[in-house]
């Protein structure tokens, strides 16, 4: 059975969404980020990213990671590419060329979008959005996202999804990276094809199932 280590309020959300998409049985082991605890090494602390038992699973001390049979894996986006390839049917590439494009868009999400979308979510998570520094950080992130989002908008002019004109692991990976930027709705309103694309992704039953569980976790 697939085991996913990590809470839903983390990058593990990507892997939980994928597991729901695939309809496979999985076990969830909630591992909380150590930074959310006053003393992550306290005797009564819940299992977290500094807990010795978790470091035995992932010495990097990062969530998520998975165990699938004898395979241990971390890095959420790579995990989803693996799960799609093993279990995914239409969520995986149908050809070598499509597999390459799934990898390309996933790496693009990680390098061209996530640094700035994560910068945005950190500003809001730390309630800094109304401070001078926070406003400046938001402005920098939005400027930095303009070029990659314009590229995505152009790509979606002739198709509804990133690869093969069907929902794949690439769409799931990029949609979850871009979710962090949805506080800045003007970025999406200015790009109607991109906005319609992420709305299609987030209208999926598996996404809603992931978010329903996520919504019940402590903030």
Per-residue pLDDT tens over the stretch 115-145: 999 999 999 999 999 999 999 999 999 999 9
Chain-centroid distance, C-alpha 90: 20
What is the per-residue burial (b if ≥16 Cβ within 10 Å, else e) of 134-146? beebbeebbebbe
Q: Could you confirm whether domain 93-204 is CATH 1.20.1050.10? A: yes
* E runs forming strands in 82-139: none
pLDDT at residue number 219: 86
pLDDT at 19 over 90: yes
Q: Any idea where the domains of the chain sit in the sequence? A: 2-90+208-215, 93-204
User: pLDDT confidence of 105, banded at 50, 70, 90?
Assistant: very high
Instruction: Provide the Cα torsion 192, 198, 202, 204; round to 10°.
Output: 90
pLDDT at residue number 20: 97
Mean pLDDT of 69-79: 97
Kindly report the pTM of this predicted structure.
0.96
User: pLDDT confidence of 88, banded at 50, 70, 90?
Assistant: confident
* Superfamily of domain covering 2-90+208-215: Glutaredoxin (3.40.30.10)
pLDDT in tens, 196-209: 999 999 999 999 99
pLDDT in tens, 180-197: 999 999 999 999 999 999
Q: Are strands 71-74 and 2-5 parallel, antiparallel or unpaired?
A: unpaired
pLDDT at 92 over 90: yes
């Amino acid at each position: 059975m697939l085991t996913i280590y990590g809470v839903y309020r983390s990058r593990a959300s990507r892997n939980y969404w994928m597991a729901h998409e695939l309809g496979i049985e999985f076990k969830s082991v909630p591992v909380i980020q150590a930074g959310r605890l006053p003393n992550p090494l306290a005797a009564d602390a819940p299992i977290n990213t500094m807990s010795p038992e978790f470091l035995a699973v992932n010495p990097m001390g990062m969530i998520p990671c998975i165990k699938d049979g004898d395979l241990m894996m971390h890095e959420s986006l790579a995990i989803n590419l693996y799960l799609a390839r093993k279990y995914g049917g239409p969520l995986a590439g149908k050809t070598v060329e499509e597999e390459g494009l799934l990898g390309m868009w996933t790496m693009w999400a990680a390098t061209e979008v996530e640094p700035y979308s994560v910068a945005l979510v950190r500003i809001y998570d730390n309630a800094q959005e109304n401070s001078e520094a926070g406003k400046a950080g938001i402005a920098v992130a939005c400027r930095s996202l303009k070029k990659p989002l314009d590229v995505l908008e152009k790509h979606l002019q002739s198709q509804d999804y990133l690869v093969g004109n069907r929902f794949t692991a690439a769409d799931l990976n990029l949609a979850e990276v871009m979710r962090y930027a949805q506080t800045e709705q003007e970025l999406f309103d200015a790009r109607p094809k991109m906005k319609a694309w992420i709305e299609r992704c987030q209208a999926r039953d598996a996404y809603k199932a992931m978010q329903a569980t996520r919504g019940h976790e402590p903030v």
